[in-house]
Amino acid sequence: MDIKHLRAYLMLCSLVVVMQPLQGLAQQNADASRTRLQHTSTERDGQHDFDFEIGTWKTHVARLLHPLTGSTTWVEMEGTSIVRKVWNGRANLLELTAEGPTGHFEGLSLRLYNPQSHQWSLNFSNSNDGTMAQPTIGGFKDGRG
């Protein structure tokens, strides 16, 4: 074997040695991508978390008479809540009417599901002021909200 062939042979051997770890790294990256893809596709979809509430229900409401004042006086009311599915389940609308010693109450709750974050935003308004309160945002994990 002459020097040119020896040099080419050594170059080829060193290239094989250098490429071997890169092939393993590529395999590891492919495995990691596959695992991430499987994890993403099996991530819990909470779009139906509130489906149990769809329908018309008799409702018992207890609320503080003067919230955020330290009051411990509760007022109880009886009423009806109607929950409708909206946007094929990615949202629902709750209408609540109730009567009690303090009079008539009407409330509206709009729940919106964000499929990217897997969270719900709960938005509430009552007929007295006609504005939406600051939404509550969250989700369910292991049966807890």
Of 122, 103, 104, nearest to 112 (Cα)? Answer: 122
pLDDT in tens, the chain (145 residues): 444 444 444 444 444 444 444 444 455 555 555 555 454 556 778 898 999 999 999 999 998 989 999 999 999 999 999 999 999 999 999 999 999 998 999 999 999 999 999 999 999 999 999 899 999 999 988 888 8
Domain regions of the chain by residue span = 1-43, 51-138
Q: Tell me, yes or no, if the pTM score tops 0.85.
A: no
